Amino acid sequence: MTLPGSPHVAYRGDTLHVEERSLADLAARFGTPLYVYSQGAMRAAAADWQRALAGRDHLICYAMKANSSLAVLQTFVRAGCGFDIVSGGELDRVLAAGADPAKVVFSGVGKTRAEMRRALEAGVLCFNVESESELDVLSSVAATSGHTARVSLRVNPDVDAGTHPYISTGLKANKFGVAHDRVIDAYRHAATQPGIEVVGIDCHIGSQITEIGPYLDALDRVLDLVEAVESHGLRLHHLDLGGGLGITYTDEAPPAAHALVAALLERIDARGHGHRRILFEPGRALVGNAGVLVSEVLYLKPGEAKNFCIVDAAMNDLMRPAMYQAWMGIVPCRLRDGVPATYDVVGPICESGDWLGQDRALNVQPGDLLAVLSAGAYCMSMASNYNSRGRAAEVMVAGENAWLIRDREQPAELFKGEHLLP
């Protein structure tokens, strides 16, 4: 049985493996729910982007919101990547993982003064500024602290990325970026502000994009803006084309990173912009297919309308189905003989929205292990403690090696910062 997603997650005989390690063995050793990642898959994904950009001045800034566990970040530090951060917390995390601040870009619509100050002190490569009011605040924070903030404006190109409305960001109706018709004035204003150095332009149109077309549309609009801005005597050294490349969860067929990059470079060169530094901010495409969530089947509950397969992982561990009705593959860690039945795979949380998959054909018994596939991105990083559930443990696999990279969160840790009333 071949699985969608990464070749690093595959059956050997009847047993599901991540690289050389069987998930059943890892679950026996570390317990469930358990996130297991393939470091090889992450490294291969990063290499695909980097190879496509070889010979160009470029930086792949891993959008760490997709998975910000330290060992994941460290993997990308070692692969030579930069990082896209969206908070002071992400800055602290990525520095703790050994990142070079000079390879960090700071995005986000709501940066606070404290976050700006911290990022200026650290010396981040660039602030991706999302509004004119943010620009003014950044200017005053930088000027009063004796720093210069290198700035790109995140422009909203008003293109439809053709993805889920919650993860589409490049339309006029979205809160992100400087509106297309304000961009020139905003740049001219930026150039006159103390503490600001204009260095580039940025756009990010959405997430889980499975076609090249929307990227090319956005690129054309961005290049039009670059030409218009430079006609006013400003220089934009880099183009940051954001992230958003989709992965295969089921039958999606997104372009490979190298194909996307090749198409964009061709257009960039054709329009005479080939000398510029190119940045990308992929998140999901670097980690999504590298991870699985392993969970134990607790109970089977046949019913008139539905059969339920109740597992020990829940929406707090993996929010995407509840939040976006996202379809994620669910497969047994060991194949059994026999006829499958149709189940809704649900967790123990007291919400009807607590499901991981609906109407799935599964041949399982209580005590069996299931793996949710393509769970490397936006799963652990979006986990919560709802129902006072500790977050899952995480393991990184590289070949035969398996390292525990995050302890299972214990109940007492969940309330250690709380105080009883006197």
Catalytic residues: 350
Contact 278, 268 (CB under 8 A): yes
Half-sphere exposure of 62 (CA within 13 A, CB side): 32
Q: Is 134 in the site for ligand LLP (CB under 6 A)?
A: no
Kindly state the smallest distance separating residue 243's Cβ from ligand LLP, in Å: 3
Instruction: Return the number of the residue (158 or 281) whose C-beta is nearest ligand LLP.
Output: 281
Residues 141-180, one symbol each (x = binds ligand LLP by CB under 6 A, - = not), give --------------------------x-------------
Kindly state the smallest distance separating residue 68's Cβ from ligand LLP, in Å: 12
Instruction: Return the number of the residue (227 or 252) whose C-beta is nearest ligand LLP.
Output: 252
Kindly state the smallest distance separating residue 389's Cβ from ligand LLP, in Å: 19
Rounded distance, CA 26 to CA 204, Å? 37
Residues 12-51, one symbol each (x = binds ligand LLP by CB under 6 A, - = not), give ----------------------------------------
Q: Classify 356 as helix, strand or coil.
A: strand
Q: Classify 391 as helix, strand or coil.
A: coil
Q: Is 103 in the site for ligand LLP (CB under 6 A)?
A: no
Residues 284-303, one symbol each (x = binds ligand LLP by CB under 6 A, - = not), give xx------------------
Rounded to 5°, the CA angle 378-20-287 comes to: 20
Q: Please select the residue that binds ligand LLP; options are 32, 38, 107, 156, rule is CB under 6 A.
A: 107
Listing DSSP states for 300-329 in one string gives EE--SS--EEEES--TTT--HHHHH-----
Q: Is 242 in the site for ligand LLP (CB under 6 A)?
A: yes
Tokens of 153: 């404006």
Instruction: Return the number of the residue (324 or 386) whose C-beta is nearest ligand LLP.
Output: 324
User: In 333-400, at which residue ranges do the beta strands (DSSP E only) sit?
Assistant: 341-346, 355-362, 369-372, 393-398
Kindly state the smallest distance separating residue 130's Cβ from ligand LLP, in Å: 9
The stretch among 14-22, 241-249, 301-309, 398-406 that binds ligand LLP (CB under 6 A) is 241-249
Rounded to 5°, the CA angle 13-19-23 comes to: 65
> In terms of DSSP H, where are the helices of 233-349?
257-270, 284-287, 320-324
**Encoded amino acid at 217, one letter:** D
Which residues contact ligand LLP (rule: CB under 6 A)? 63, 66, 84, 107, 167, 204, 207-208, 242-245, 281-285, 320, 324, 378
